[in-house]
Chain A
Protein backbone atom coordinates (compact mmCIF):
# COMPACT_ATOMS: atom_id res chain seq x y z
CA UNK A 1 0.00 0.00 0.00
CA UNK A 2 1.04 3.58 -0.55
CA UNK A 3 2.18 5.84 2.23
CA UNK A 4 3.25 9.45 2.36
CA UNK A 5 5.45 11.02 4.98
CA UNK A 6 6.40 14.60 5.56
CA UNK A 7 8.60 16.25 8.13
CA UNK A 8 9.17 18.05 10.34
CA UNK A 9 5.71 17.98 11.93
CA UNK A 10 6.19 21.27 13.75
CA UNK A 11 8.60 24.11 13.09
CA UNK A 12 9.14 27.52 14.66
CA UNK A 13 11.46 29.71 12.62
CA UNK A 14 12.53 33.36 12.87
CA UNK A 15 11.75 35.81 10.10
CA UNK A 16 14.46 35.78 7.47
CA UNK A 17 15.61 32.22 8.20
CA UNK A 18 15.56 29.43 5.57
CA UNK A 19 13.00 26.66 5.34
CA UNK A 20 13.07 23.08 4.15
CA UNK A 21 10.08 20.74 4.38
CA UNK A 22 10.48 17.27 2.96
CA UNK A 23 7.99 14.74 1.70
CA UNK A 24 8.40 11.20 0.44
CA UNK A 25 5.92 8.74 -1.03
CA UNK A 26 6.28 4.99 -0.85
CA UNK A 27 4.53 2.17 -2.63
CA UNK A 28 3.92 3.87 -5.96
CA UNK A 29 5.90 5.25 -8.87
CA UNK A 30 5.51 8.32 -11.08
CA UNK A 31 3.04 10.02 -8.78
CA UNK A 32 1.81 13.57 -9.14
CA UNK A 33 3.03 15.47 -6.09
CA UNK A 34 1.61 18.59 -4.50
CA UNK A 35 2.30 21.16 -1.80
CA UNK A 36 -0.71 22.85 -0.23
CA UNK A 37 -0.92 25.50 2.47
CA UNK A 38 -3.79 26.01 4.85
CA UNK A 39 -3.77 29.39 6.56
CA UNK A 40 -6.12 30.25 9.42
CA UNK A 41 -9.63 30.99 8.12
CA UNK A 42 -8.79 30.03 4.57
CA UNK A 43 -9.18 26.93 2.50
CA UNK A 44 -6.41 24.73 1.25
CA UNK A 45 -4.36 26.61 -1.32
CA UNK A 46 -2.29 24.78 -3.92
CA UNK A 47 1.28 26.10 -3.94
CA UNK A 48 3.14 23.74 -6.26
CA UNK A 49 2.56 20.58 -8.21
CA UNK A 50 4.89 18.25 -10.02
CA UNK A 51 4.25 15.62 -12.69
CA UNK A 52 7.82 14.32 -12.78
CA UNK A 53 11.41 14.71 -11.63
CA UNK A 54 12.55 18.29 -12.04
CA UNK A 55 9.11 19.40 -13.28
CA UNK A 56 7.60 21.99 -10.96
CA UNK A 57 4.63 24.26 -11.56
CA UNK A 58 3.88 27.14 -9.27
CA UNK A 59 0.32 28.23 -8.66
CA UNK A 60 0.87 31.40 -6.66
CA UNK A 61 3.66 33.96 -6.61
CA UNK A 62 5.56 33.82 -3.35
CA UNK A 63 8.95 33.48 -1.78
CA UNK A 64 8.68 29.70 -1.57
CA UNK A 65 10.12 27.21 -4.03
CA UNK A 66 9.77 23.49 -4.59
CA UNK A 67 12.04 20.82 -5.98
CA UNK A 68 11.65 17.18 -6.94
CA UNK A 69 15.11 15.63 -6.97
CA UNK A 70 13.78 12.06 -7.07
CA UNK A 71 10.58 10.47 -8.33
CA UNK A 72 8.99 10.16 -4.90
CA UNK A 73 10.58 13.07 -3.08
CA UNK A 74 9.20 16.58 -2.95
CA UNK A 75 10.83 19.46 -1.07
CA UNK A 76 9.42 22.86 -0.15
CA UNK A 77 11.99 25.56 0.52
CA UNK A 78 12.47 29.20 1.25
CA UNK A 79 15.64 31.25 1.47
CA UNK A 80 14.10 33.88 3.77
CA UNK A 81 10.85 33.29 5.61
CA UNK A 82 8.20 35.97 6.04
CA UNK A 83 5.66 36.22 8.85
CA UNK A 84 2.95 35.55 6.27
CA UNK A 85 4.49 32.15 5.53
CA UNK A 86 3.09 30.79 8.79
CA UNK A 87 0.52 28.08 8.27
CA UNK A 88 -0.16 24.39 7.93
CA UNK A 89 1.66 22.83 4.98
CA UNK A 90 0.47 19.63 3.43
CA UNK A 91 2.23 17.42 0.95
CA UNK A 92 -0.01 15.22 -1.18
CA UNK A 93 0.14 12.71 -4.00
CA UNK A 94 -2.12 11.21 -6.65
CA UNK A 95 -1.77 8.61 -9.36
CA UNK A 96 -0.54 10.09 -12.60
CA UNK A 97 -3.31 8.96 -14.87
CA UNK A 98 -7.08 8.58 -14.57
CA UNK A 99 -10.20 10.58 -15.27
CA UNK A 100 -10.40 11.67 -11.69
CA UNK A 101 -8.01 10.78 -8.97
CA UNK A 102 -8.09 10.89 -5.24
CA UNK A 103 -5.38 13.02 -3.70
CA UNK A 104 -3.90 11.66 -0.49
CA UNK A 105 -2.32 13.89 2.11
CA UNK A 106 0.65 13.58 4.40
CA UNK A 107 0.44 14.34 8.07
CA UNK A 108 1.12 18.03 7.63
CA UNK A 109 3.72 20.44 8.98
CA UNK A 110 2.86 23.35 11.25
CA UNK A 111 5.12 26.32 10.50
CA UNK A 112 5.18 29.33 12.77
CA UNK A 113 7.35 32.23 11.69
CA UNK A 114 8.20 34.55 14.59
Chain B
Protein backbone atom coordinates (compact mmCIF):
# COMPACT_ATOMS: atom_id res chain seq x y z
CA UNK B 1 0.00 0.00 0.00
CA UNK B 2 1.33 3.43 -0.94
CA UNK B 3 2.23 5.59 2.03
CA UNK B 4 3.12 9.26 2.49
CA UNK B 5 4.23 10.52 5.90
CA UNK B 6 4.64 14.16 6.84
CA UNK B 7 6.38 15.62 9.84
CA UNK B 8 5.89 17.42 12.06
CA UNK B 9 2.10 17.18 12.21
CA UNK B 10 1.92 20.68 13.63
CA UNK B 11 4.29 23.55 14.13
CA UNK B 12 4.04 26.95 15.80
CA UNK B 13 6.60 29.60 14.92
CA UNK B 14 7.04 33.36 15.20
CA UNK B 15 6.97 35.70 12.26
CA UNK B 16 10.36 35.89 10.62
CA UNK B 17 11.37 32.33 11.51
CA UNK B 18 12.43 29.80 8.89
CA UNK B 19 10.65 26.45 8.84
CA UNK B 20 11.32 23.11 7.18
CA UNK B 21 8.52 20.67 6.55
CA UNK B 22 9.27 17.04 5.78
CA UNK B 23 7.65 14.44 3.59
CA UNK B 24 8.70 10.82 3.11
CA UNK B 25 7.07 8.23 0.93
CA UNK B 26 6.88 4.56 0.08
CA UNK B 27 5.08 4.03 -3.20
CA UNK B 28 5.24 1.98 -6.35
CA UNK B 29 5.33 3.61 -9.78
CA UNK B 30 6.48 6.99 -8.49
CA UNK B 31 5.94 9.79 -10.96
CA UNK B 32 6.01 13.04 -9.00
CA UNK B 33 5.80 14.69 -5.61
CA UNK B 34 3.57 17.69 -5.08
CA UNK B 35 3.15 20.24 -2.32
CA UNK B 36 -0.13 22.02 -1.66
CA UNK B 37 -1.20 24.75 0.73
CA UNK B 38 -4.64 24.40 2.28
CA UNK B 39 -6.13 27.34 4.12
CA UNK B 40 -9.85 27.30 4.59
CA UNK B 41 -11.03 25.33 1.61
CA UNK B 42 -9.48 23.52 -1.31
CA UNK B 43 -5.73 22.90 -1.52
CA UNK B 44 -3.84 25.22 -3.82
CA UNK B 45 -0.87 23.97 -5.77
CA UNK B 46 2.65 25.04 -4.75
CA UNK B 47 5.23 22.79 -6.41
CA UNK B 48 5.61 19.65 -8.42
CA UNK B 49 8.92 17.80 -8.23
CA UNK B 50 9.95 15.00 -10.51
CA UNK B 51 13.74 15.15 -10.55
CA UNK B 52 16.00 14.57 -7.61
CA UNK B 53 18.22 17.38 -6.35
CA UNK B 54 16.67 20.22 -8.32
CA UNK B 55 15.33 22.96 -6.08
CA UNK B 56 12.13 24.73 -7.03
CA UNK B 57 11.56 28.22 -5.66
CA UNK B 58 8.66 30.58 -5.45
CA UNK B 59 9.31 33.69 -3.40
CA UNK B 60 10.05 32.63 0.16
CA UNK B 61 9.09 29.02 -0.49
CA UNK B 62 11.38 26.37 -1.88
CA UNK B 63 11.30 22.61 -2.17
CA UNK B 64 13.60 19.80 -3.18
CA UNK B 65 13.19 16.08 -3.83
CA UNK B 66 15.59 13.33 -2.80
CA UNK B 67 14.67 10.15 -4.65
CA UNK B 68 17.43 8.17 -2.97
CA UNK B 69 16.05 8.98 0.47
CA UNK B 70 12.43 8.90 -0.81
CA UNK B 71 11.75 12.27 0.72
CA UNK B 72 11.19 15.94 0.12
CA UNK B 73 11.40 19.11 2.15
CA UNK B 74 9.49 22.36 1.90
CA UNK B 75 11.27 25.43 3.26
CA UNK B 76 9.63 28.71 4.13
CA UNK B 77 11.92 31.59 5.01
CA UNK B 78 10.95 34.80 6.83
CA UNK B 79 7.54 33.39 7.69
CA UNK B 80 4.49 35.64 7.78
CA UNK B 81 1.10 35.17 9.41
CA UNK B 82 -0.33 34.58 5.94
CA UNK B 83 1.73 31.40 5.74
CA UNK B 84 -0.44 29.84 8.42
CA UNK B 85 -2.11 26.85 6.77
CA UNK B 86 -1.99 23.11 6.40
CA UNK B 87 0.74 22.05 4.00
CA UNK B 88 -0.01 18.83 2.17
CA UNK B 89 2.48 16.56 0.49
CA UNK B 90 1.22 14.21 -2.20
CA UNK B 91 2.94 11.61 -4.32
CA UNK B 92 1.72 10.94 -7.84
CA UNK B 93 1.73 7.36 -9.05
CA UNK B 94 0.55 5.59 -12.14
CA UNK B 95 -2.65 3.74 -11.37
CA UNK B 96 -4.82 1.32 -13.29
CA UNK B 97 -6.13 2.04 -16.78
CA UNK B 98 -3.52 4.72 -17.37
CA UNK B 99 -4.75 6.91 -14.59
CA UNK B 100 -2.57 9.17 -12.50
CA UNK B 101 -3.35 9.27 -8.80
CA UNK B 102 -2.16 11.22 -5.81
CA UNK B 103 -1.63 9.73 -2.38
CA UNK B 104 -1.66 12.41 0.30
CA UNK B 105 0.04 12.71 3.64
CA UNK B 106 -1.97 13.95 6.62
CA UNK B 107 -0.43 17.37 6.35
CA UNK B 108 1.56 19.72 8.56
CA UNK B 109 -0.40 22.43 10.29
CA UNK B 110 1.74 25.56 10.42
CA UNK B 111 0.77 28.42 12.70
CA UNK B 112 2.74 31.66 12.45
CA UNK B 113 2.23 34.03 15.35
CA UNK B 114 3.09 37.74 15.23
Contacts and interface: CB of A to CB of B under 8 A. Distances in A.
A30 to B, nearest CB: 11
A11 interface: no
Interface in A24-42: 32, 34, 36, 41-42
Interface size class of A (residues with CB under 8 A): 20 to 34
B97 A51 contact: yes
Given A102-B45, A105-B42, A107-B42, A32 B31 contact: no
Contacts of A51: 97-99
B74 to A, nearest CB: 16
A29 to B, nearest CB: 16
Interface in B82-111: 88, 90, 92, 95-107
A107 B90 contact: no
B32 A99 contact: yes
Contacts of B102: 34, 44, 46, 103
A43 B31 contact: no
A44 B42 contact: no
A51 B101 CA distance: 11
A100 B32 contact: yes
Contacts of A94: 100
B79 to A, nearest CB: 23
Given A43-B106, A104-B45, A105-B42, A49 B95 contact: yes
Interface of B: 4, 31-32, 34, 41-45, 48, 50, 88, 90, 92, 95-107
Interface of A: 32, 34, 36, 41-46, 49, 51, 55, 57, 59, 90, 94, 96, 98-108
